[in-house]
C-alpha cells in the first residue's frame, strides 16, 4: 500500500516510465531466455551460430550505450526512448517472422541497439524528473523492473506451448504498445543547447577521474547481479537435481524486492552518506556467496539469493542517484551511457571468470571455487567504494535534499 501511495505521489512522467519498465522487462524476458533453445532445437543451428546471434545482440547493446546516452542529451530523452522501443518492436517481430541467419542477425542488432538507446535515456529522464526524490524513484524503478523480469518468463513459458512465434509476436506487441503510449503521452523536456561537440562531451566525462573510479569500483555489483542467471541457478539445480529449482532463485529475489526495496531505500536515505550504504550493499552481495561455499545445499543457495537481492536493494538506488551528480545536468545521459559501457564490459569479463571457476571447480572437485570467486568480487568492490568514500571522491546530495533529510 505504501509503495502504491509513493508511486501515485510521483510526477506523471515518472509513473509512466515505471510502467514502461514493467512492460520492457516483461517483453524482454518473455522472449530472450528462450531464444537460444529456439535457435538450437527449432532451427537446428550449431552452438557456434547460436553464440554469434546472441553475442551480436549483447555487443550491439553494450557497445552503443554511449551513443544512446549522448543522443539523450542532444536530442532529448523522450525521442530516444520512443525510438528504442520502436526498434525493439521491429527486432522482436523479425525473430518471429524470419528463420534465415541474415534475418536473425538483423533482429539481434536491432534489439541490441534498441536497448542501447532507451536504457540510458530512461534513466536520464528519471534523474531529471525525480528532483530530490531520485533514490526513491530508482528504488521503485527496480521494483517495476524486477516484477517484469518475473512475469516475462512465466508468460513466455505459457506461450511456448503455442510456439516460439507466438512468444516473439507477443513481445513485439508489448513494445509496440509501449511505443504508442510514450509517443502519445510522455511529456517532452526542453533540451538545453549543446555548447560543444559530442567528442568534447565524451572527453569531459572520461576525464572525470572520480566518476571513472566509481564506475570501475561498481564492477562487482554488476558481475554478481548476473549470477542470478548463471551461478545461483546452477547451484540450485545441482543441489536438488531439479531444473525447476532455478526458478526459485528468481522468485526469492523478486518477492524480496517487492516487499523490501522501497522500505530499505527510505530507511537508509536519511541515515548517513550514500557511499557508506553503497559499500555496505556491495559487501552484502559478496557475503551472499559464502553460505554455499561453506555449506552446500539448496537452503544455502536460496539464502545466498536473498542476501544478494538485499545487497542490490541497498546499493542500486543510491548508485543511480549518484551517477548524474558527478557532472553537469546537460550530460546526464552521457554519464549513464559511459557507466553502462563500463559495467557491461565488466559483467562480460566477470561472467567469463565465474564460468572458468565453475569449470575448474568441477574438474578439480573444488565446488566452492566459483562461490569464493564471487565473494571476492563483491568484497573487493565494497573495499574500493569505501576507499572512494573516505577520500571524499563521491558527490554529496544536493543542499535541499540534505535539509529535507534532517528536517
What pLDDT, in 10s, does the model give residues 39-73? 877 888 776 777 678 778 877 887 789 999 999 99
| Contact predicate 293/375, CB 8 Å | yes
CA terminus-to-terminus distance, the chain: 25
d(CA 46, CA 43): 9
**Dihedral (C-alpha) 388, 389, 393, 397: value to the nearest 10 degrees?**
150
Output phi, psi for 273, to 5 deg.
-65, 155
Quote the pLDDT of residue 172: 95
d(CA 8, CA 4): 6
| Contact predicate 271/191, CB 8 Å | no
pTM: 0.88
| Contact predicate 392/278, CB 8 Å | no
CA distances, 92 to each of 107, 171, 311 (Å) = 6, 7, 33
Confidence of residue 1 (pLDDT cuts 50, 70, 90): low
User: Which residues make Cβ contacts (< 8 Å) with residue 406, sequence separation at least 6?
Assistant: 270
Q: Mean pLDDT throughout 239-254?
A: 81
d(CA 216, CA 349): 13
| Contact predicate 396/402, CB 8 Å | yes
pLDDT in tens, 102-136: 898 999 899 989 999 989 999 999 999 988 889 99
175 pLDDT above the threshold of 50? yes
Tally of residues, the chain:
407
- Tally helices (H) and strands (E) across the chain: 19, 0
pLDDT in tens, 259-283: 899 999 999 999 989 999 999 999 9
Give the three-state DSSP class for 21. Answer: helix
pLDDT in tens, 317-355: 999 999 999 999 999 999 999 998 888 787 778 878 888
CA atoms within 13 A on the CB side of 345: 11
Burial class of residue 196 (count of CB atoms within 10 Å of its CB; 0-12, 13-18, 19+): exposed
Amino acid at each position: 500500500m505504501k509503495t502504491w501511495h509513493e508511486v501515485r505521489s510521483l510526477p506523471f512522467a515518472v509513473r509512466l516510465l515505471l510502467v514502461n519498465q514493467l512492460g520492457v522487462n516483461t517483453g524482454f524476458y518473455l522472449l530472450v531466455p528462450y531464444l537460444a533453445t529456439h535457435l538450437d532445437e527449432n532451427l537446428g543451428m550449431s552452438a557456434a551460430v547460436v553464440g554469434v546471434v546472441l553475442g551480436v545482440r549483447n555487443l550491439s547493446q553494450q557497445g552503443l550505450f554511449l551513443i544512446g546516452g549522448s543522443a539523450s542529451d542532444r536530442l532529448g530523452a523522450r525521442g530516444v526512448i520512443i525510438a528504442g522501443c520502436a526498434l525493439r518492436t521491429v527486432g522482436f517481430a523479425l525473430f518471429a517472422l524470419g528463420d534465415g541467419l541474415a534475418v536473425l542477425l538483423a533482429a539481434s542488432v536491432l534489439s541490441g541497439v534498441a536497448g542501447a538507446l532507451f536504457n540510458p535515456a530512461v534513466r536520464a529522464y528519471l534523474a531529471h524528473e525525480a528532483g530530490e526524490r531520485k533514490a526513491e524513484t530508482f528504488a521503485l524503478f527496480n521494483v517495476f523492473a524486477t516484477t517484469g523480469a518475473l512475469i516475462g518468463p512465466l508468460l513466455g513459458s505459457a506461450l511456448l506451448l503455442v510456439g516460439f512465434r507466438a512468444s516473439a509476436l507477443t513481445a513485439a506487441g508489448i513494445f509496440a504498445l509501449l511505443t504508442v503510449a510514450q509517443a502519445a503521452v510522455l511529456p517532452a523536456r526542453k533540451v538545453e543547447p549543446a555548447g560543444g561537440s559530442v567528442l568534447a562531451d565524451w572527453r569531459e566525462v572520461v576525464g572525470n577521474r572520480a566518476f571513472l573510479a566509481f564506475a570501475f569500483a561498481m564492477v562487482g555489483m554488476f558481475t554478481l547481479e548476473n549470477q542470478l542467471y548463471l551461478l545461483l541457478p546452477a547451484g540450485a539445480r545441482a543441489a536438488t537435481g531439479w531444473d525447476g529449482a532455478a526458478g526459485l532463485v528468481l522468485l526469492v529475489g523478486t518477492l524480496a524486492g517487492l516487499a523490501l526495496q522501497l522500505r530499505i531505500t527510505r530507511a537508509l536515505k536519511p541515515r548517513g552518506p550514500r557511499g557508506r550504504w553503497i559499500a555496505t550493499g556491495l559487501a552484502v552481495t559478496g557475503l551472499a556467496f559464502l553460505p554455499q561455499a561453506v555449506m552446500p545445499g539448496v537452503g544455502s543457495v536460496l539464502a545466498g539469493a536473498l542476501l544478494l537481492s538485499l545487497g542490490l536493494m541497498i546499493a542500486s538506488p543510491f548508485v543511480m542517484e549518484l551517477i548524474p551528480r558527478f557532472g553537469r545536468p546537460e550530460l546526464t545521459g552521457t554519464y549513464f551511457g559511459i557507466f553502462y559501457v563500463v559495467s557491461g564490459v565488466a559483467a562480460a569479463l566477470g561472467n567469463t571468470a565465474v564460468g572458468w571457476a565453475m569449470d575448474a571447480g568441477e574438474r578439480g572437485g573444488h565446488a566452492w571455487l566459483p562461490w569464493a570467486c564471487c565473494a571476492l568480487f563483491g568484497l573487493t568492490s565494497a573495499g574500493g567504494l569505501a576507499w572512494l568514500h573516505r577520500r571524499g571522491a563521491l558527490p554529496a546530495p544536493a543542499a535541499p535534499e540534505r535539509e529535507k533529510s534532517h528536517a
